[in-house]
Amino acid sequence: MEKLHAIDREYRHLERTIAALQWDQETYLPPEGVEERAEQLALLEGIAHRRLTEPETGKLLAEAGSSAENPRGDASLPALERDFLRVMRRRYDRAVKLPPDFVTASARAEGLSQAAWAAARQNNDFAAFLPHLRTMIGIARAKAEYWGFGSGSSTRYDGLLDIYEPGMGEAEIGVLFAVLRNRLAALLKKIQGCTPPDTSFLKQSFPIEQQAAFNQKLMDYIGFNRRRGRLDTSAHPFTITLGSDDIRITTRYFPHNLLSGLFSVIHESGHALYEMGFPPELRGACLADGASMAIHESQSRFWENVIGRSRPFWDGLFPLLQNFFPEQFAGVSAGHWYRAVNEVKPSLIRVDADEVSYSLHVILRFELEQQLIAGALEPEELPAAWREKTKEYLGIEIDASSPRSDADGVLQDIHWSMGSFGYFPSYVLGNLYGLQFTRKLRQDIPAFDNLIAAGNFGQIHTWLKDTIYRWGCRLEPAELLQKVTGEPLRVEPFLEYIEGKYGELYH
Amino acid sequence: MEKLHAIDREYRHLERTIAALQWDQETYLPPEGVEERAEQLALLEGIAHRRLTEPETGKLLAEAGSSAENPRGDASLPALERDFLRVMRRRYDRAVKLPPDFVTASARAEGLSQAAWAAARQNNDFAAFLPHLRTMIGIARAKAEYWGFGSGSSTRYDGLLDIYEPGMGEAEIGVLFAVLRNRLAALLKKIQGCTPPDTSFLKQSFPIEQQAAFNQKLMDYIGFNRRRGRLDTSAHPFTITLGSDDIRITTRYFPHNLLSGLFSVIHESGHALYEMGFPPELRGACLADGASMAIHESQSRFWENVIGRSRPFWDGLFPLLQNFFPEQFAGVSAGHWYRAVNEVKPSLIRVDADEVSYSLHVILRFELEQQLIAGALEPEELPAAWREKTKEYLGIEIDASSPRSDADGVLQDIHWSMGSFGYFPSYVLGNLYGLQFTRKLRQDIPAFDNLIAAGNFGQIHTWLKDTIYRWGCRLEPAELLQKVTGEPLRVEPFLEYIEGKYGELYH
């Protein structure tokens, strides 16, 4: 066990070193340093991969009684060690099952594909990306096969899902998403018949220095410990862990869009609080990690939406925001602001979507990638299928001959160009987990809204730590949800939240 | 040879990864991330060391005909390959000759020593540092012995010098420094009898944002390519190479001291221009490195002093500086500024010293560390010896009972706490090399002063590239100097420069 822990620690340090190089690449790397940085990263990734997949690791896991069928090993071991074995086994199996040549070839193809995607998006040229998309689908299918996708009834797509959301299958997701899709599409239609809120005061200039200064206050306000992390800017917001006490987030600023930078900071802070909150006994080990992509997303969306887009939150914080932008917000009340930042307005772009339409963007992608992986949809049919579903779910007609028809359509997200099929559902599952957790939290802390209005997040932090963060990835998502709420995954808590909040907002 | 190049490339990438972690540590690392960063660095350094010292490396070097006696190997190889073999052999020998246990124990002792030094300096408590100093001297002596310090007549100190200044011995340095010491001390005495320049306008407030903005312009002005590097802030200025096209410098800002941040930027830019200037055929290889610490220092001091503290430079640039600080410099001329930034005023602190007294600070340290390594001076005698030499060379009396007697005396520099004995001479040797190069440069480019006044550095950059940078570390310092100037190392060019410049400034 000691030797396994040593391997884990080393692997972890290498992962964090890679994270440091990646963080730097997205924030401060001089433009011409990009090429050599890619070589450095490839070398480090190779070293990390070799460290994990040394035959010694497999031998030690087997000696500890861990196998693919019984990953937790000998039942007489302490629970913490058994969970550790499960996670090590999972990572080891996933890594050794892919032939090294396949890994190298996929990495190269992924690089080419991403570059082709970026150019294709720029030029609204789906045809230029098509051969790469085909390759990426092939690689994803091959990966699922190498990993073996579980028992007889499971599908290739299930095998891919398992990377991001262990234990979750496409059939289960399909059932949940079908309900969501119908209820959300219906709600959206109703809202579109209502009077929109006044958002004119958002269409002003917000100097970037002021935005950045406010965001530092905002981070302090919600309890981001800046001795253990920091905020920088990058092209796309992200959270990255460089060490147990070094969790960094980024945002981006637009001088005429205050909301983008601000809500990204709350969202990424939600991820960071999770990473900062793992208990000491998991420190530096593979168990100090989120339970899954969707559980991570449940945390970021909880802070961004449930707290950050709530009325009590801005009752407490709006006066400070007003101090930072006194001219822009003269005569604007917390109530005006609250309604404006919750405007529902379907658009083509997922990352700009409101809470109601967001899930529809994701469901659309889930359904299409399911079909791509199953071979039920040919890659060349994708743009047309995209337009059809966009019309059906979001009520937006895309003119196929418009100059950004595919750029703002099927080419808008990077995921498929990287071969990340099975990732999209995490975003919506995160919403579902998040609201199920919230319901329990509200039961345990009845003063929830008052605490938020008072900017007093101590009890909420403690609850999250004691209930969710403490487990790291010791539990699979479904186990964690069961332990916290006593229930399996359900759509109702999320739908009730959405229908309640937006029913009220739009009368 | 191909395999050796592959090892070199990998080792290089690892070195650069370590550099990235170090840069981050000094610039952006959140305070509580320090501990884990140290573990990451230790792991990476171990991996890099093992990569270099694999038995394969020794075998390949031997097969290529390289040995300790004939490091360049087979005379039939191309010159570039022979130089490559010499440098690889040197690094390999230096690394394999130290027993791994000794390396680990020294690294630990160094860590403790540095921490003890920082506290001792804070508390002006030399006694607290003394046991660590003794350990560091012991380690340095042991290192010199492991490496074997050359033929019969060479000393342990020669063995240490060889790390920083290959081919240079303490006897040779002693002769040069004795002349320097006498001539500089005499000049200093004369200057102290003269009227000092007016520096009152430097004693104002210079907002840090303005200083930083000016420094960006300054970097562009002297030809630092910001697509291949960047400027950040840190506690102590430094230059670090993260990649062939990623060379970063740092500076520090004091609101009441404009000169410190500004001249650090020119100094570090001089280092960076050297690193950016290695030719394509050395790219990514161990040969793309400075010829020695002192040659590197010759480049930084050339830009900082020969150019950056010259009259023509500020005739060209002072109007821009004035634009950035119009109130502070109202009524100040380029001439006033030139005289003020060249004020000669001996002080206790080396890094704040002017061009005349700077070398005396270094010679004092050189003489003391020589004696420490030879065993001619006991560590406990160091503070008294320090005070004595400070009085003799700089004319400053240190009161042994004053509250900063050792903090601003023998404890002021970090070098000895890290065991870096033999490093100090590089600073003065850099001055000597630099002015010998400059003399040749002035012969080759007679319009030197006019070009500088015009802010037109193209020809100077080209000369440095074609004459110095192009060699990387293919040549040892003495070979490089011979190739460029046709001479061995001499003190005259530097002394002529100093005596000429300050003779004129102080009439």
> Are A246 and B40 inside 8 Å of each other by CB?
no
Which pLDDT score, from 0 to 100, does residue A151 have? 54
Q: Which among B269, B219, B280, B220 is positioned nearest to B247, based on CA atoms?
A: B269
The pLDDT > 70 percentage for chain B reads 99
Considering only the beta carbons, identify the residue of B17, B29, B40 that sits closest to A40.
B17
* Contact (CB, 8 A) for A139 and A373: no
- Would you state the structure tokens that stand for residue A8, as one six-digit string? 């884990």
Residue A377 DSSP symbol = S
Q: What tens digit of pLDDT does each residue of A284-339 get?
A: 999 999 999 999 999 999 999 999 999 999 999 999 999 999 999 999 999 999 99
* Contact (CB, 8 A) for A397 and A409: no
Q: What tens digit of pLDDT does each residue of B208-224 get?
A: 999 999 999 999 999 99
The dihedral of CA B374, B375, B377, B383: what is its sign? positive
Which pLDDT score, from 0 to 100, does residue B154 have? 86
Q: Which among A211, A250, A212, A244 is positioned nearest to A231, based on CA atoms?
A: A250
> Are B14 and A245 inside 8 Å of each other by CB?
no
Average the pLDDT over A357-380 and give the result. Answer: 97
Q: Which among B313, B270, B302 is positioned nearest to B431, based on CA atoms?
A: B302
What are the chain B neighbours of A31 within 8 Å (beta carbons)?
227
> Are A17 and B21 inside 8 Å of each other by CB?
yes
Instruction: Please pick, among B165, B268, B304, B476, the residue that the annotation labels catalytic.
Output: B268
Query: Mind telling me how many Å the CA of B261 is from chain A's nearest CA?
Result: 21
What are the chain B neighbours of A37 within 8 Å (beta carbons)?
243, 246
Query: Mind telling me how many Å the CA of A303 is from chain B's nearest CA?
Result: 23
Q: What tens digit of pLDDT does each residue of B452-505 get?
A: 999 999 999 999 999 999 999 999 999 999 999 999 999 999 999 999 999 999
β-strand A229-233 against B229-233: which pairing, if any?
unpaired
Q: What tens digit of pLDDT does each residue of A97-142 get?
A: 998 889 888 888 988 899 899 999 999 999 999 999 999 999 999 9
Which pLDDT score, from 0 to 100, does residue B74 have? 87
Which pLDDT score, from 0 to 100, does residue B213 have? 98
Q: What tens digit of pLDDT does each residue of B236-255 get?
A: 899 999 999 999 999 999 99
Dist CA B326 CA B313 (whole Å): 19
Dist CA A230 CA A219 (whole Å): 9
Q: What tens digit of pLDDT does each residue of A382-401 get?
A: 999 999 999 999 999 999 99
* pTM, 2 dp: 0.94
Which pLDDT score, from 0 to 100, does residue A148 have? 82
Dist CA B388 CA B424 (whole Å): 19
> Are B35 and A230 inside 8 Å of each other by CB?
no
Q: What tens digit of pLDDT does each residue of B263-282 get?
A: 999 999 999 999 999 999 99
Chain A residue with minimal CA distance to B23?
A24
Average the pLDDT over B225-229 and give the result. Answer: 98
The CA-based angle A391-A397-A403, given to 5 degrees, is 135
Strands (E), B153-292: 229-233, 239-243, 246-251
Q: How many CA atoms lie within 13 A of B16 on its CB side?
A: 30
pLDDT at residue B150 is higher than 70: no
Which pLDDT score, from 0 to 100, does residue A319 have? 98
Which pLDDT score, from 0 to 100, does residue A111 have? 85
Which pLDDT score, from 0 to 100, does residue B152 have? 62
Average the pLDDT over A82-105 and give the result. Answer: 92
Query: Mind telling me how many Å the CA of A243 is from chain B's nearest CA?
Result: 6
Q: What tens digit of pLDDT does each residue of A258-271 get?
A: 999 999 999 999 99
- SS3 per residue for B414-437: CHHHHCCCCCCHHHHHHHHHHHHH
- Would you state the structure tokens that stand for residue A9, as one six-digit string? 């620690």
**Residue B268 falls in the annotated catalytic set:** yes
The identity of residue A193, as a single letter, is G
Interface of B with A (CB under 8 A): 10, 13-14, 16-17, 20-21, 24, 28-33, 35-37, 39-40, 43-44, 47, 226-230, 232, 242-246, 248, 284
What are the chain B neighbours of A227 within 8 Å (beta carbons)?
30-32
Dist CA B233 CA B60 (whole Å): 43
Q: Among A37, A219, A276, which would you mutate to test the B interface (most chain B Cβ atoms within 10 Å of its Cβ)? A: A37
Chain A residue with minimal CA distance to B44?
A14
- Would you state the structure tokens that stand for residue B196, as one six-digit string? 């000092």
What are the chain A neighbours of B37 within 8 Å (beta carbons)?
243, 246
Query: Mind telling me how many Å the CA of A138 is from chain B's nearest CA?
Result: 32
What are the chain A neighbours of B32 within 8 Å (beta carbons)?
227-228, 245-246
The pLDDT > 90 percentage for chain A reads 93
* Contact (CB, 8 A) for B439 and B493: yes
Query: Mind telling me how many Å the CA of B188 is from chain A's nearest CA?
Result: 44
What angle do helix axes B258-276 and B293-301 make, rounded to 10 degrees?
120
Burial A234-255 (b: 16+ CB within 10 A, else e): beebbbbbbbbbbbbbbbebee
Which pLDDT score, from 0 to 100, does residue A108 have? 85
| Structural domains for chain B | 1-96 (no CATH), 200-347+425-505 (1.10.1370.30)
> In sequence order, which residues have a C-beta less than 8 Å from that of residue B72 and are 6 or more positions away?
B66, B82, B83, B85, B86
pLDDT at residue B416 is higher than 80: yes
Considering only the beta carbons, identify the residue of A13, A227, A228 that sits closest to B40.
A13
* Contact (CB, 8 A) for B161 and B425: yes
Which pLDDT score, from 0 to 100, does residue B314 have? 98
* Contact (CB, 8 A) for B463 and B447: no
Which pLDDT score, from 0 to 100, does residue B153 have? 67
* Contact (CB, 8 A) for B402 and B152: no
> Are A20 and B16 inside 8 Å of each other by CB?
no
What are the chain A neighbours of B227 within 8 Å (beta carbons)?
30-32
Q: What tens digit of pLDDT does each residue of B91-106 get?
A: 999 999 998 889 888 8
Instruction: Please pick, among A268, A275, A367, A476, the residue that the annotation labels catalytic.
Output: A268
What are the chain A neighbours of B280 within 8 Å (beta carbons)?
none
Considering only the beta carbons, identify the residue of A20, A33, A246 that sits closest to B30.
A246
Considering only the beta carbons, identify the residue of A21, A243, A248 that sits closest to B36.
A243
> Are A31 and B232 inside 8 Å of each other by CB?
no
pLDDT at residue A153 is higher than 80: no
Average the pLDDT over A416-445 and give the result. Answer: 97
Taking all residues of chain B, what is their mean pLDDT, rounded to a whole number?
Answer: 95
Which pLDDT score, from 0 to 100, does residue B320 have? 98
* Contact (CB, 8 A) for B135 and B426: no
β-strand B246-251 against B229-233: which pairing, if any?
parallel
Q: What tens digit of pLDDT does each residue of B3-34 get?
A: 999 999 999 999 999 999 999 999 999 999 99
The pLDDT > 70 percentage for chain A reads 99
Q: How many CA atoms lie within 13 A of B304 on its CB side?
A: 24
